[in-house]
Structure 1
C-alpha cells in the first residue's frame, strides 16, 4: 500500500468522522517534552484522549463484560476499511500521532503474535513509510481478546536508536528477520505461552527489514496508581504517553527510569576509559552543556548532543600514516597529570566506543555482516582487556640481554586508562570518522554480544590481512596458547595449511600466492575495509621492500638504538604458524643480536613498521630484498578476508566461526 494511498485513507476517514478529525487536529497542540533515561533522550507526550487505552481494564471479567470494539459489527459505520488479506486496516480513533492505524484481524481471536510473525513482516513491507508494531497481552494491548497490530509513520518511531533497557535488534532480509524473530520468541516463551513482548518492524528498503523486540517483565509500573502511565509499544520505542497534565508534569528523568525499570529488563551497559592523547598542555573545546567536578579535571555532558574536541591528536603513532588531526568525542572528558604531561581521557559507554572503533578501523561502507562481526570482536576485545587488566599482576613482556632482546606490545602497560585510542589497542577516533546508519545497525543488532570460549571472554585480536594463514597468539604476545586462535588457512574449502614454522615451507608459501579470502584485491572490497589513508598502501597480501646495506644499517641503528655496524645478514630463527618470524638474528660487523617478537622485528626493520614479519630475505647486489606476506600480526580476524566473506554471502556468525574456532557468541547485557 503506497504512502499516498494510506494518506488518502486517513484523509477520507477524517472527513467522514468528525470526532477523529478533531482528535487528530489536537495533536498539533499536545504538550511534549524531552527527558533523559541513563543519558538517552526520551520524549513525553500529554494526550488526554489516550486515557481510553491507558486506563483500559484487561482482566478476563472486564473483557467478557464489554463488546469487542475491534469486531466489525461493533465498530461505527463511519469507520472506513481497507481490506488487507484476513485483516482490515483502520484509522485509529484515538491517535497518538497523525496517520495512526490499527490493523485488526477479520476474526475474533486472542491477541497473539504466535503464528503471525509473517503477517507482521508482510505488513511492514506493504505499508510504505510506516512502522508496524505489536502490543502483547499485558504489554499495552487494550484489546487482548482480538488480534491486531498498529502502525504509525516511521518518522514518529525510529528503531535504530539506543534504549535504556534490554532489547533485541535485527536488520536483514525479510526471511532472515522472520527466522530470527521466531527463534527469539520461542526462546523467550515459558511452557509454550506467548512471551511478554512489544515488537516493531519497518521496511528499510525493498530487501531489508528492521525489527526490535522489547521483552517485558510487567504490564504496568509501580507508579500506575498515582501516575497513569501504562507502557505499550509506543512508550518503549521512544514516546511515553501521559493522559493528564499532572501526570505529564510528574514524569521526569528519574520517574521515566523507574517506569522502565519496573516494566522492562535492565541492560547493564558498561563503560570504558580511553586514553586519547598526552601533551604538556591539552587544548580542548566543549560543545553544548557540560558540568565540571570540584577540581575542574572531569567534564560530564548534560545533553545527549554535547561533545568535546581535542586539538592535534596524533594517529598512527610510528606507522607510515602517522599524522595529527582534531578529533571530537561523546562522553566525559577527564584531564589527568602524569609526570610533566597531561593526559586527556574519554570515559564513554562501550557501545558508543564501538561505533567509533568500527568506523575508525575500517570504512563505514563495509557490508553489514562484516560490521556485525567487527562489532562482536571489538566488544569482546575491550571487555576482555578491562577484565584482564583488573586481574593482571607482575606481567613481564621484555627480555633484554646483550645477546637477545624480546619484546611484545600488549596492553597491560596502560596504567591510567583501560585502552588507548590508537593502533596499539583499537583505533578510536570519536565522532570524527563519519558513522553511517549501517554501522549503527551493526552495533544495535549485536548489542551486548561477545565471543566466549567456555567461561572465558575471547581475546579477539584482528589485523588488516593475515596473508593467507592464521597466526597463533603465543608467537606474537605472551607465551599462552588460546584454543580458539589456531593455525588454519584463510579459505573456505578447508585446504590443509603447510607447517609454516618450517623454514622451507614458509619460504615456498611466502614466495607463492596461495588462494585465500584475503588474496582478493578488488578495489570495491578494499574500500569496505580501508580508510582513505590506509588505501595509500596497496601491497598487503604479498609485498617487497628493498634496502641497500647502508640504508638498512642506519634504520636498524635508529630504530633499535643499537649500533650493529654494517649489517651483513638477517637470519630467521623461529617462525609462527603463519610464517611470521618471532626470533630474528641480525648479523653486523660490530654486533650480532637476536630480536623478537613480531612487532619489534617490524619496528627495527623500517622507519615506520614493516607490514608484517612474515618475510623471506634475498641478498641483492647492494643489499637486501624482503619478500613479505600480510599486513599486521595475523592473529584472529583478518579484516580483508572477512570483507570478502561478507561479499560472498557469509553471515557474521559464519565469519566469526571461521576465524575463532569453537568460540560461542553470547549476549552478556
Structure 2
C-alpha cells in the first residue's frame, strides 16, 4: 500500500519549527485521534485510526507502519489542538514532523508560537518568579524566537530545543503561571528600527550586564552594559575548582604561570595566558572548561595545591535580560515594561499581532 500526502487549508497562526532531536532507524509517534499529512502549511491530514505509529527509514525512503510514504517527510497531528503528541521521549503540542536527515531521522515540532512560549518559560525561568519577571521573559523569548524565524525562514527548522537557543521541554515544562504571563503579553515584541531585536538573556550577570560585542561579538546598540540588582543576591556568587589537567587541556600546554591578562569594562575575563606562551580568549576558555563549571567570565583565580580556585559572579554570557535581576526589579515593584527597557535600552515594545 502506498500512502499519499495531499494539501488542504493553512492555519492562520504564527508558528515555530523546533528541532526536537534526531533518531536513528525508527521513531514512535503517538496521540489521540492521530492523523498524518505532508509537511506543508496547507496539508490535508488523513486519520490513521490508531493512536501510535512507527516511522522507519528504509534507505532513502520513509515507511509508516511498514507502508512506504511519498516524500522526504511526514507530519502528524492529534485530533484536537489542545491534545499533545508524543514523539521519541518528548510530549508536545502542535504537529510533529519526521523527516529524512543525514543517515537517520530528524524530529521537528511545528507549534503555535504562544504555546511554544508557555513551555519555554518553564524551561528558562523559575515559575516561582514574580509575574512581572515572567512577563518580561515571555516578551524576550517571543522576540528572540521571531528574530530567529526571520533569520532562518524557509529552513526545515528555526531553532533547536537546547541551551544553544531556548530551552524547550514540551508540555512537561508548561505551568499555569507561564500560560498567564504569555497570554498577558500576547503578540508583544521588542523592536529596534522597526525590526525584532536579538533578545539575548541569561541567568545572572553578577551586578553588571555585558555589552553585546564583548559577550557575543554582536555590536548591537540595545545590548549595553547596565547596572543590575542581582549582584547583591547570593544566587549570583559561585566558586569552582579547576585542576591543572583541566587547565592544561583548555590551554593546550602547561598551565604554569596562568593569569588573566585583560578584562572587559565590566571586569569579565577577556584573555588569559600562561608562562609557556599560551594565550586563550575568555569565551574559548569557558567553552573548553565547560559552561557549568566556569559559570561566567567575571571571576578571579587563585593558585591551590594541584589546581586553581575560581571565585566568580553571575551565570551566563551576561548580555541582555538578566533573569535574577528581573526578579529583583519585579520585587521592587517595577513592571515588565520597565524591566525590558532597563536591559534593552532604546528598544520599543510593539504589538505585532
Same-fold call, TM > 0.5?
Answer: yes
Corresponding position of 2:79: 302
- Flag the 1:608–1:656 CA change in 2: closer, same or farther, 3 A: closer
Q: Is the 8 A contact 2:330 2:336 kept in 1?
A: yes
- Count matched residues: 312
Q: How far 1:302 moved relative to its partner?
A: 3.4
Which residue of 118, 122, 126 maps to 1:355? 118
**What is the CA–CA distance in structure 2 between the aligned matches of 1:614 and 1:473, rounded to whole Å?**
15
**What is the CA–CA distance in structure 1 between the aligned matches of 2:30 and 2:76, rounded to whole Å?**
9
Check if 1:546 corresponds to 2:284.
no
**SS, match of residue 283 in structure 1:** strand
Which residue of 298, 302, 310 maps to 1:614? 298
TM-score if structure 1 supplies the norm length? 0.44
Which residue of 166, 170, 173 maps to 1:433? 173
Counterpart mapping for 1:377-456 below 5 A: 377-390=140-153, 416-436=156-176, 438-456=177-195
**SS, match of residue 109 in structure 2:** strand
**What is the CA–CA distance in structure 1 between the aligned matches of 2:165 and 2:318, rounded to whole Å?**
15
Which one has the largest radius of gyration? 1
Corresponding position of 2:287: 603
Corresponding position of 2:350: 666
Q: Is the 8 A contact 1:518 1:640 kept in 2?
A: no
Q: How far 1:582 moved relative to its partner?
A: 3.6
Corresponding position of 2:212: 473
Q: How far 1:282 moved relative to its partner?
A: 5.0
**What is the CA–CA distance in structure 1 between the aligned matches of 2:278 and 2:86, rounded to whole Å?**
45
- Flag the 1:586–1:327 CA change in 2: closer, same or farther, 3 A: farther
**What is the CA–CA distance in structure 2 between the aligned matches of 1:469 and 1:656, rounded to whole Å?**
15
Corresponding position of 1:654: 338
**What is the CA–CA distance in structure 2 between the aligned matches of 1:457 and 1:358, rounded to whole Å?**
19
Corresponding position of 1:486: 224
**What is the CA–CA distance in structure 2 between the aligned matches of 1:352 and 1:449, rounded to whole Å?**
15
**What is the CA–CA distance in structure 2 between the aligned matches of 1:586 and 1:353, rounded to whole Å?**
46
**What is the CA–CA distance in structure 1 between the aligned matches of 2:100 and 2:274, rounded to whole Å?**
40
**What is the CA–CA distance in structure 2 between the aligned matches of 1:336 and 1:359, rounded to whole Å?**
28
TM-score if structure 2 supplies the norm length? 0.80
Counterpart mapping for 1:132-531 below 5 A: 269-281=13-25, 283-293=27-37, 295=69, 297-311=74-88, 326-390=89-153, 416-436=156-176, 438-478=177-217, 480-490=218-228, 516-521=229-234
Check if 1:576 corresponds to 2:316.
no
**SS, match of residue 287 in structure 2:** helix
Q: Is the 8 A contact 1:420 1:426 kept in 2?
A: yes
**What is the CA–CA distance in structure 1 between the aligned matches of 2:331 and 2:86, rounded to whole Å?**
36
Q: Is the 8 A contact 1:282 1:342 kept in 2?
A: yes
Q: How far 1:362 moved relative to its partner?
A: 1.9
Greater mean deviation of Cα atoms: 463-472 or 296-305? 296-305
- Flag the 1:330–1:575 CA change in 2: closer, same or farther, 3 A: same
**SS, match of residue 633 in structure 1:** coil
Q: Is the 8 A contact 2:118 2:174 kept in 1?
A: no
**Residue deviations 1:89-132 (CA, integer Å, cap 9, x gap):** xxxxxxxxxxxxxxxxxxxxxxxxxxxxxxxxxxxxxxxxxxxx
- Flag the 1:282–1:435 CA change in 2: closer, same or farther, 3 A: farther
**Residue deviations 1:373-398 (CA, integer Å, cap 9, x gap):** 1111100111111223349xxxxxxx
**Residue deviations 1:349-376 (CA, integer Å, cap 9, x gap):** 1111101101111222322111111111
Q: How far 1:447 moved relative to its partner?
A: 0.8
Q: How far 1:640 moved relative to its partner?
A: 0.7
Q: Is the 8 A contact 1:586 1:595 kept in 2?
A: no
**SS, match of residue 369 in structure 1:** helix
Q: How far 1:627 moved relative to its partner?
A: 1.8
- In angstroms, what is the RMSD of aligned CA positions? 2.5
**Residue deviations 1:503-528 (CA, integer Å, cap 9, x gap):** xxxxxxxxxxxxx334224xxxxxxx
Counterpart mapping for 1:17-36 below 5 A: none
Q: How far 1:609 moved relative to its partner?
A: 4.2
**What is the CA–CA distance in structure 2 between the aligned matches of 1:611 and 1:467, rounded to whole Å?**
11
Q: How far 1:567 moved relative to its partner?
A: 1.8
**Residue deviations 1:126-170 (CA, integer Å, cap 9, x gap):** xxxxxxxxxxxxxxxxxxxxxxxxxxxxxxxxxxxxxxxxxxxxx
**What is the CA–CA distance in structure 1 between the aligned matches of 2:30 and 2:341, rounded to whole Å?**
43
**SS, match of residue 22 in structure 2:** strand
Q: Is the 8 A contact 1:380 1:450 kept in 2?
A: yes
**Residue deviations 1:484-538 (CA, integer Å, cap 9, x gap):** 1111211xxxxxxxxxxxxxxxxxxxxxxxxx334224xxxxxxxxxxxxxxxxx
Q: How far 1:574 moved relative to its partner?
A: 3.9
Which residue of 630, 642, 650 maps to 2:314? 630
Q: Is the 8 A contact 1:290 1:306 kept in 2?
A: no
**Residue deviations 1:432-467 (CA, integer Å, cap 9, x gap):** 12411x222211111110011222311111111001
Structure of higher RCO (CA pairs closer than 8 Å, 6+ residues apart) = 2
**What is the CA–CA distance in structure 2 between the aligned matches of 1:519 and 1:282, rounded to whole Å?**
50
Q: Is the 8 A contact 1:278 1:342 kept in 2?
A: yes
**What is the CA–CA distance in structure 2 between the aligned matches of 1:609 and 1:297, rounded to whole Å?**
41
Gaps of 5+ in 1: 1-36, 40-267, 312-325, 392-414, 491-515, 522-539
Q: How far 1:630 moved relative to its partner?
A: 0.6
